[in-house]
Amino acid sequence: EAQVTQNPRYLITVTGKKLTVTCSQNMNHEYMSWYRQDPGLGLRQIYYSMNVEVTDKGDVPEGYKVSRKEKRNFPLILESPSPNQTSLYFCASSLSVGGAWPQHFGDGTRLSIL
Amino acid sequence: TQLLEQSPQFLSIQEGENLTVYCNSSSVFSSLQWYRQEPGEGPVLLVTVVTGGEVKKLKRLTFQFGDARKDSSLHITAAQPGDTGLYLCAGAPYFGNEKLTFGTGTRLTIIP
């Protein structure tokens, strides 16, 4: 089954404790991205990657890091999480760049930073 | 940054009624997508419109892209409880740019 898998689905942690949210897709997609979803603000892009070893900032990259060492994986790293990073996070992939390609989303990671 | 405003933000109607939700911007988009998101899940693509004035139908859902490619609407006929969810529009600013801009969403509740 074609899918985007995120882990963990839920995480409660404390300020300053490094964490990684993993994302993996099995569709051989070139393009992957991370979004955060907050009430009233919609989906905002954090980082994206057009291919292996190619990443770039989205609209809200501060406090986040990503890497793309393999085509299928695109982890999101919070080096020193803070409470304002409490949010619902989604990883997405698409076949290629360009807005007409459908984005395939994971089921989300709900992150709470105390 | 290009903005997409969706209205209404919340909508609660009875089963069987018709409804329209809107997605508006002052910017031109090369294409526009509509997604539906259900609780505990990620958004799922419903449709992509790419031509100004284009109308696409998906069963009881009708999507229209504005002639000027700045706005879009989603009309649901005879709404059913299964239509409940968060509807998101997303625009691509111009060809070759990979970044979608998402609207803030319309949360739709259909009351049985």
Greatest Cα-to-Cα distance within chain A, rounded to the nearest angstrom? 39
- 3-class DSSP assignment, residue B83: helix
Beta bridge partner(s), residue B32: B49, B91
The DSSP 8-state label assigned to residue A73 in this structure reads B
Nearest chain B alpha carbon to A98? B98
Say whether pLDDT at A6 is over 70: yes
Say whether pLDDT at B1 is over 60: no
Task: Give dist(CA B63, CA B49) in Å, integer.
Answer: 8
Residue A102: the pLDDT is: 87
Mean pLDDT (chain A, rounded): 94
* Residue B56 to chain A, least CA–CA distance (Å): 15
Q: Average the pLDDT over A29-51 and give the result.
A: 92
Residue B97: the pLDDT is: 59
Q: Map A9-40 to HEC letters.
A: CEEEECCCCCEEEEEEECCCCCEEEEEEEECC
Q: Average the pLDDT over B18-46 and give the result.
A: 94
Residue B98: the pLDDT is: 59
Which two structure tokens, joined as six digits, stand for A29?
A: 């997609």
What digits encode the pLDDT tens for the residues A54-87?
999 998 999 999 999 999 999 999 999 999 999 9
Residue B108: the pLDDT is: 97
What digits encode the pLDDT tens for the residues B42-65?
999 999 999 999 999 999 999 999
Task: Inspect the interface and report whether the beta carbons of B99 and A45 lie closer than 8 Å.
Answer: yes
Task: Inspect the interface and report whether the beta carbons of B42 and A44 lie closer than 8 Å.
Answer: no
What digits encode the pLDDT tens for the residues B80-112?
999 999 999 999 876 555 578 899 899 999 999
